[in-house]
A and B are shown apart, each in its own frame.
Chain A
Amino acid sequence: MTEASTIRPGVGVPPADDVLLDVRHLKTYFKVMDGTVPAVDDISFSLKRGQTLGIVGESGSGKSVTALTIMRLLDIPPAEIGKESEAWFDGREVLGLPEGEMRRIRGNDMAMIFQEPLTSLNPVFTVGDQIAEQVQLHMKVKERESRDRAVEMLRLVGIPSPERRAKQYPHELSGGMRQRVMIGMALSCDPKLIIADEPTTALDVTVQAQIMELLRAIQERTGAALLLITHDLGVIAEMVENVIVMYAGQIVEQGTVEQVLLEPRMPYTMGLIESIPTVEKRGGRLSAISGVVPSPFHLPPNCRFEPRCPYRWETCRTVTPALYDAGDGRLSRCHLHLVEATARREAAIAAHDDNMRMGRRLTGAPDRIGNA
């Protein structure tokens, strides 16, 4: 870690003041016996204060590694962060910070909620102690105060009889309760950024609804920014304003949630959305993306989605696609957005619309009730 900090003497210019997190050209590699795995390959995005951003992708797409890199929770080695990578958080470049300073930010201004609450909580301490420890560490308060704060956090996240629960061990709580404890712990120091990595994946659908409502309410109340990482497009649609779609370590599409989910412009995103089973598709086949995610050791040389893409042509095999501007501030990593491919693009969009018309209808007035 210290090595990394010496490499970067504060390159680049700090972002505007309303930008809480600005990630530029983030690259994370893993050096393993079989070679180098580019887990995250040149990712840039920014998140304004109080906003919500979702990162969606299949397993192995690099979405969790992105979060862990920003949190500086990866072991270096085997992980290695690209030299030109920058991550500006709250006006400071965190990838180059000394570990001691990073520790002050992590858990304090930047908190993380993990997927598996049982493995992320320490089984030999009570949940109250675990929250109190963090509060003591970051807020410089007395032990009693920190305990009160822990109970208060448990109450905030909707745990009944928090005084009693604070004295219990993780195994005594249900999965939903544990995830609430994790959220309570993340919130205990009033963070400016909450990174939630698959916060509801291990939970039942009714408990997932509880946790999503809770996250949303807390995010609205505290004004913290939320970086939500998930593979579930349903959760994305419910929770966030902007979306990044990742595939094989790269951003392949980026835009507002409406743009990405309702009018996707990248064949991978189109395929993902089409493959969701809905009632209208009953009796018919689901449109599936053929093939599997490529092995990180043998990535296709140019477009990484090309071998699975139904719309590919010669250019896709020979030219590496950039993140093209697809209009209205959205980005798409696909040669369909080249001027000479206009006809192909329109055909692809028409095919997608056709596939979806079999499924969800795209017309009709928006009827958002939630946190519109």
Chain B
Amino acid sequence: MNLTCEDLRNLLYEYHAGELVVEVYESFETHLVGCANCLYFVESYRHTVKVVRSLPRCGLPAAVETRLRAALKECLGE
């Protein structure tokens, strides 16, 4: 099975998720060996997922916390 560059982009989600059937996976890998553009595209796709998953867990901005606490106190009649 020969995959085009467009095929690869359409299959990227399944490739990244490990959901490709063996035959398609092998064709995907074969294409990557001979196509520097697709190799870069796949690596940058993978890297995008990785950096977004590493976004820091932020707290509430101080002003938001203050306003929220005051609003809740008022609404709950404390």
The answer to whether A and B come from one shared complex is: no
Instruction: Name B's A-contacting residues (CB within 8 A).
Output: none
